Amino acid sequence: MRIISKLFFVSNFVISKITRKQIWKKVRQKIGNIPHLSIDWDDLTDRFIEPVIWVVDHFADSLGKIFVSLVWLLIQFVVGVAYWIGLSFYWNISAELTIALVIFGHWILLNVVFHYYMALITSPGRPSDAEQIPHIKARCKKCQSVKPERTHHCSICKTCILRMDHHCPWLNNCVGHFNHRYFFLFMAYVVLGMIFLFIFGAPVIVHELSISDASEPIGYPVFHNGSHLLPVKQVEEVSPPRSRSLRRAVSVTVAILCAGILAALGALVGWHARLISRGETSIENLTNKDDREAKRREGSAFVNPYDYGSYENWRIFLGLSEGRTWWCVFFPSVHPPRGDGISWCFKNDLTHVSFK
């Protein structure tokens, strides 16, 4: 999990200058232990970070739009291939099975599209005006806005974000208090969709790769379509060699693509699930890690004030309150998260605020 955490933050290190400094501090500590190695870390850091920051500051919005377009294109491509190749394959085996797979697959697709779209258009949350929350005295040094607990400044959005997790280029948006649930469930349903495609797509790929490219069959080979034995010649008349080659290439391409998505998002979903269970955001995971180590050296245990136990942490994250049940997780729902993202309960001071 530590490796996944470091890889994730290296790819998204532009989320805040605080995070970038912490990452470089870790790197400097590790390499600095090597004997007889003298490095001007300030100069090295400036030389490496400044051009990257310049690119991000000038092109982040354009790159984000490109990434968002790629996500929509990937969804359409994978679904289109499933209809083109997979639907006909299973229809020849069993109409009832095909209908069941179509219903289940569209349930996954509905959740993927819904949660991605909501993560795109939902504001992660920004602090209110100082007049509305006069009890908050902290101020952001960059934008001078009120800075409640768990709020961080995003250098790309150029504003403070409530309970900021990170800035996601694939959303062209920050992930914060009000859209974190959409972001996580989008990834979770994509992973479920990839598993679904691997399980029911494997027979399709084996079938596509097993069809001979020979224009003239030798002897009397047959093809079993699930219910009948058909001569290879009959199959070839239906699917010309050129069409078969295209179907085969597309099938392999989708398989490789899905494998990469499953590996990347599967690891990310697992890591975020761990953070949610501990009541942390991605940024807090870095800061709390240092505090845990400091407490460990002191011989005491670190206590996260926002950790209410795994079960309650998930209920808070998923917004399961006011009579809402877990069905809100399995079907699209636009309900807001618990709390306003400004005030937070503490374990030893539950009267501080009541979750809505």
Q: What one-character-per-residue DSSP string does 181-249 give?
A: HHHHHHHHHHHHHHHHHHHHHHHHHHHHHHS---SS-SS--EEE-SS-EEEHHHHHHHS-HHHHHHHHH
Kindly name the residue from 168, 174, 258, 345 that is annotated as catalytic: 168
Q: 3-state DSSP: the chain helix, strand, coil percent, rounded to 5?
A: 60, 5, 35
Tokens of 67: 């990434």
CA 326 – CA 90 distance, rounded (Å): 32
Residue of 235, 204, 229, 205 lying closest to 217 (CA atoms): 235
Separation of alpha carbons 307 and 241, rounded Å? 60
Q: Which two tokens mark 304?
A: 């996260």
User: Is 143 exposed, middle or buried (CB count within 10 Å of its CB: 0-12, 13-18, 19+)?
Assistant: middle
Give the span between the Cα atoms of 17 and 184, in whole angstroms.
24
Give kind and range of the element (H or E) at residue 57. Answer: helix 41-81
Helix (H, G, I), strand (E, B) or coil at 353: coil
Whether 345 is catalytic? no
Length of the chain: 356
Q: Are 350 and 190 in contact (CB under 8 A)?
A: no
Residue 241 CA: distances (Å) to CA of 91, 208, 253, 255: 22, 12, 18, 21
Catalytic residues: 168
